[in-house]
C-alpha cells in the first residue's frame, strides 16, 4: 500500500502521512456498504430522519474542531471554514426532512393503478474535489443517505482530513457501520473503481471538466447514472447604471473568495465601456484592501493556494498578459499568490479558460446585446452576476446569459445561505440541474 503526505498550504509543512486505498480496500468498503444499505433502507423513514438529525447535532458540536482542521489542510480563512462546518450540519438537518417526503406519483390510467416510488439506488460513490472539501461532500452524502442509500466517499488527496473526521463523527452519532465510509486514495484508483464497480449504482462527481468527462464516459459504459458538477468561467456584468461603489466593493469577494478556487468564481468582469476607466479606478483600492494572509486570523479574507503545483499553474496564466494591478500576499513559505486584475481581449486564454485562482480578466462591452454575447463567449455556463439598477435589464440579461445562478444585484457569493445552492447550469459546467429541490430525488431511482 502506498502513502502520501498531507501538506498545510499556508506553511508548506507536512501535517500527516496517510495510506492510499487500493482496489481491494475499495471493494471491501463497497461490500460493507451493500450490507449496511439493506438495513438502512428498511428502516422507517422517521428513523432515518432521526439518525440524520443526530449526525447534524454531532457535527454542530464539532464545528470549531472541523473548522480548525480545514484551516490547516486547505488554508481556508477561519471565518469561512467555520461557516463551511456549520453548513454541513445545516445540510444534514435540511435533508433529514427528506426521508418522510420522498413522495412518488400516481399516474391516471383506465381501470387500474399506476404508481411510482422513489427507491434508493443502493450504494452511491461520491468523488469530491479539494476546493470545498466539507460542503461539496455534504451536498452529496446528505441527500444520498436521506434517500436510503449507503455512501462511499472519496475526498481529494490534497484535502482528506475533514472528510475523514466527518466519517468518524457519523459513527459517533450512531449511523450504522458501513453506511457512510470515507475511502482515501487517488482518483485514478478509488474514483475509477466507483465508476467500474457493479455494486456502486450511482456516481456523484464534482471536479474538473476534463476528469468529469472521463467519469461520465466510464459511467455510460456501465449504464450507470452520474451527477456532474464541473468547472466555470463566470462573468460579473457591470452596467453604467449600477451602483458602481457597491459593485466595486462586491467584485473582489465574488472572484477572490477561497483564493479564486471556486467553480462559481466570477473570474471575468465585463464593464460597460462608458464607465470602464472609472470602475477600474474604484476597483483598485478594493483589491488592494482584500486581506490575504494567515488563515487562522479572524480578519483574513483569503488564504494561500492549495499547492505549489497549482500556484505554478495559476502563475502561468499571467505570462504575457496586461496586468492592470495586483493586491498583496505574504512572502515566504506557503503557496501565496497576490490577487491580479488583467486587461483582456475576448479570445485570450485568460478570458476563456478556468484559472481556479485569484485572477480576474476584465473586458469592456458596449450595450446589453454585447454584454450577453461576451458573457456567453466561453465553453462554460455555471454562474454569473448582473449589476444594474434597472429591474427590466437585470431580467433581460439574466435570461440571455446561458449559465446557472445569475442574480441581479448580487451578493459577493452565490446564494449559499440556504441548505444547498441550486446549480441550474449548462454546457461544459454541468449537464444537469442539481440543488435543493432535486438532489434527494437525484439519489433515488424513480
Q: Which residues bind ligand NDP (CB under 6 A)?
A: 127-131, 136, 154, 156-157, 186-188, 191-192, 206-208, 211, 214-215, 229-232, 263, 354, 356, 382, 423, 430
Q: Are the beta carbons of 75 and 303 closer than 8 angstroms?
A: yes
Q: Which of 84, 263, 264, 430 is catalytic?
A: 263
The β-bridge relationship of strands 150-154 and 180-182 is: parallel
- Residue 356 belongs to what H/E stretch? none
Beta bridge partners of 125: 152, 203
| In the complex, minimum distance from the CB of residue 208 to ligand NDP, in angstroms, rounded to a whole number | 3
Nearest distance from C-beta of residue 369 to ligand NDP, angstroms: 28
Q: Which is nearer to ligand NDP, 120 or 191 (CB)?
A: 191
62 vs 428, which CB is nearer to ligand NDP? 428
Bridge-based pairing of strands 119-120 and 444-445 is antiparallel
Rounded least distance, CB 188 to ligand NDP, Å:
5
C-alpha–C-alpha distance, residues 135 and 38, integer Å: 27
Length of the chain: 446
Beta bridge partners of 43: none
Residue 411 CB-half CA count within 13 A:
6
**Catalytic one among 70, 84, 229, 354?**
229
CB atoms within 10 A of CB 307: 17
Q: What is the four-CA torsion angle of 359, 363, 367, 372, rounded to 10 degrees?
A: -50
Residue 136 vs 280, nearer CB to ligand NDP: 136
Please give the residue whose beta carbon sits closest to ligand NDP in the complex: 187
CB of 421 to ligand NDP, least distance (A): 9
How many Cα atoms are found within 13 Å in the side-chain-facing hemisphere of 243?
Answer: 7
Q: CB 202 → ligand NDP: shortest distance, Å?
A: 14
Least distance (Å) between residue 438 CB and ligand NDP:
14
Residue 426 catalytic?
no
Q: In angstroms, how far is the first alpha carbon of the chain from the final one?
A: 40
Residue of 249, 250, 29, 215 lying closest to 127 (CA atoms):
215
Q: CA dihedral in degrees (327, 331, 333, 335; nearest 10)?
A: 20
320 Rama class: left (phi>0) / alpha (psi -120 to 50) / beta: left
Which helix (H) or strand (E) segment holds residue 361: the answer is strand 359-365
**Cβ-based nearer residue to ligand NDP, 121 or 380:** 380
Rounded least distance, CB 382 to ligand NDP, Å: 6
8 or 229, CB closer to ligand NDP?
A: 229
Q: How far is 330 from 397, CA to CA, in rounded Å?
A: 39
Minimum distance of ligand NDP from residue 245's CB (angstroms): 30
Q: Which is nearer to ligand NDP, 40 or 83 (CB)?
A: 83
The SS3 of residue 114 is: coil
CA–CA dist 153, 183 (Å, integer):
6
Q: How many angstroms separate the Cα of 232 from the Cα of each of 179, 247, 296, 402, 403?
A: 33, 21, 28, 12, 9
State which residue, 230 or 340, has the beta carbon closest to ligand NDP. Answer: 230
Q: Would residue 229 show up in a list of annotated catalytic residues for this protein?
A: yes
CB closer to ligand NDP, 26 vs 102 = 26
Under the phi-then-psi rule, with left for phi > 0, alpha for psi from -120 to 50, and beta for the rest, what region is 257?
A: beta
Cell 460597460 sits on residue: 272
Using alpha carbons only, how large is the chain's radius of gyration in Å?
22
User: What positions carry a catalytic annotation?
Assistant: 229, 263
Amino acid at each position: 500500500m502506498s502513502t502520501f503526505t498531507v501538506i498545510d498550504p499556508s506553511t508548506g509543512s507536512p501535517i500527516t502521512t496517510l495510506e492510499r486505498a487500493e482496489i481491494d480496500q475499495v471493494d471491501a468498503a463497497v461490500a460493507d456498504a451493500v450490507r449496511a444499505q439493506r438495513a438502512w433502507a428498511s428502516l422507517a423513514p422517521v428513523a432515518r430522519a432521526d439518525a440524520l438529525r443526530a449526525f447534524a447535532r454531532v457535527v454542530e458540536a464539532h464545528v470549531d474542531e472541523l473548522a480548525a482542521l480545514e484551516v490547516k489542510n486547505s488554508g481556508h480563512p477561519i471565518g469561512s471554514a467555520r461557516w463551511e462546518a456549520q453548513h454541513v450540519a445545516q445540510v444534514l438537518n435540511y435533508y433529514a426532512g427528506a426521508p418522510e417526503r420522498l413522495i412518488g406519483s400516481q399516474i391516471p390510467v383506465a381501470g387500474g393503478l399506476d404508481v411510482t416510488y422513489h427507491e434508493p439506488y443502493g450504494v452511491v460513490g461520491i468523488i469530491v474535489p479539494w476546493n470545498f472539501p466539507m460542503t461539496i461532500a455534504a451536498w452529496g452524502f446528505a441527500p444520498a443517505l436521506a434517500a436510503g442509500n449507503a455512501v462511499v466517499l472519496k475526498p481529494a488527496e490534497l484535502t482528506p482530513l475533514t472528510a475523514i473526521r466527518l466519517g468518524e463523527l457519523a459513527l459517533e452519532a450512531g449511523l450504522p457501520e458501513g453506511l457512510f465510509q470515507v475511502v482515501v486514495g487517488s482518483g485514478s484508483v478509488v474514483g475509477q473503481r466507483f465508476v467500474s464497480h457493479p455494486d456502486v449504482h450511482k456516481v456523484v462527481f464534482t471536479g474538473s471538466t476534463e476528469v468529469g468527462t472521463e467519469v461520465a464516459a466510464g459511467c455510460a459504459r456501465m449504464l450507470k447514472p452520474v451527477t456532474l458538477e464541473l468547472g466555470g468561467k463566470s462573468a460579473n456584468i457591470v452596467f453604467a447604471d449600477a451602483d458602481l461603489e457597491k459593485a466595486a466593493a462586491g467584485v473582489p469577494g465574488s472572484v477572490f473568495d477561497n483564493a479564486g478556487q471556486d467553480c462559481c468564481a466570477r473570474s471575468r468582469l465585463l464593464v460597460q465601456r462608458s464607465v470602464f476607466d472609472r470602475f477600474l479606478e474604484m476597483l483598485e483600492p478594493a483589491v488592494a484592501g482584500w486581506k490575504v494572509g494567515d488563515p487562522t486570523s479572524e480578519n483574513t479574507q483569503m488564504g494561500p493556494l492549495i499547492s505549489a503545483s497549482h500556484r505554478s499553474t495559476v502563475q502561468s496564466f499571467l505570462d504575457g498578459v496586461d496586468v492592470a494591478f495586483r493586491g498583496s500576499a505574504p512572502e515566504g513559505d506557503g503557496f501565496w499568490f497576490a490577487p491580479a486584475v488583467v486587461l483582456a481581449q475576448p479570445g485570450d486564454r485568460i478570458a476563456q479558460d478556468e484559472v481556479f485562482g485569484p485572477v480576474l480578466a476584465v473586458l469592456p462591452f458596449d450595450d446589453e446585446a454585447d454584454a450577453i454575447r461576451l458573457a456567453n463567449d466561453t465553453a462554460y455556463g455555471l454562474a454569473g452576476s448582473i449589476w444594474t439598477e434597472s429591474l427590466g435589464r437585470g431580467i433581460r440579461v439574466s435570461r440571455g446569459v446561458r449559465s446557472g445562478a445569475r442574480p441581479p444585484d448580487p451578493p459577493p457569493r452565490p446564494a449559499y445561505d440556504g441548505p444547498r445552492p441550486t446549480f441550474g447550469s449548462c454546457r461544459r459546467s454541468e449537464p444537469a440541474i442539481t440543488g435543493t429541490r432535486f438532489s434527494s430525488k437525484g439519489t433515488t431511482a424513480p
